[in-house]
Amino acid sequence: MVKKDLKIALGSDHGGFRLKEKIEAYLTARGYLVADFGTNSAESVDYPVYAKKVCAEVLEKRADFGILVCGTGLGMAICANKIKGIRAVTPENTFSAKMSRAHNNANVLTLGERVLGSELAFEIIEAFLNADYEGERHQRRIDMFE
Ligand code: RB5
């Protein structure tokens, strides 16, 4: 069952711009509510700007999840994980994407345009968005670092 009422905040730098555009089209076509926080061209920009914008949407509950795209997904993850309350992950397979929700209650997904083909990126996104957090013992562990 696809959770199509989810609100997704989406952002990228220039290294992730093309994949970000494809993700927006993919999610919108499937009924997800997507807010795009840029960047809007392949001109060089600084990824922390976009990480901060998208993470603020998640923390302020205007979005259920954030998706950030850069060249590798790594710079975005490092930035996002500096922000209290954000749990960002960079899964490169669907199992990790699902488990990052089930056990880690990840709230931001970061992806690398230079790493993933768009079809794999879409599958990773679906695995992430359609998994449920299991809570219980996992919440105790999250509370230990939050
Ligand atoms: C930009 O060249 C690149 O460094 C950026 O998109 C990202 O991959 C950083 O982690």
Ligand 1 atom index nearest CA of 114: 8
| Residue pLDDT, tens place only, 42-80 | 999 999 999 999 999 999 999 999 999 999 999 999 999
Catalytic site residue from 14, 55, 70, 79: 70
| Residue pLDDT, tens place only, 84-97 | 999 999 999 999 99
Chosen CATH of 7-145 out of 3.40.1400.10, 3.40.50.2300, 3.40.50.720, 3.10.129.10:
3.40.1400.10
Report CA-CA distances (Å) from 60 to 6, 10, 85, 88: 15, 15, 10, 16
Query: Would you call 138 a catalytic residue per the annotation?
Result: no
Is 79 close to ligand 1, i.e. is its CB under 6 Å away?
no
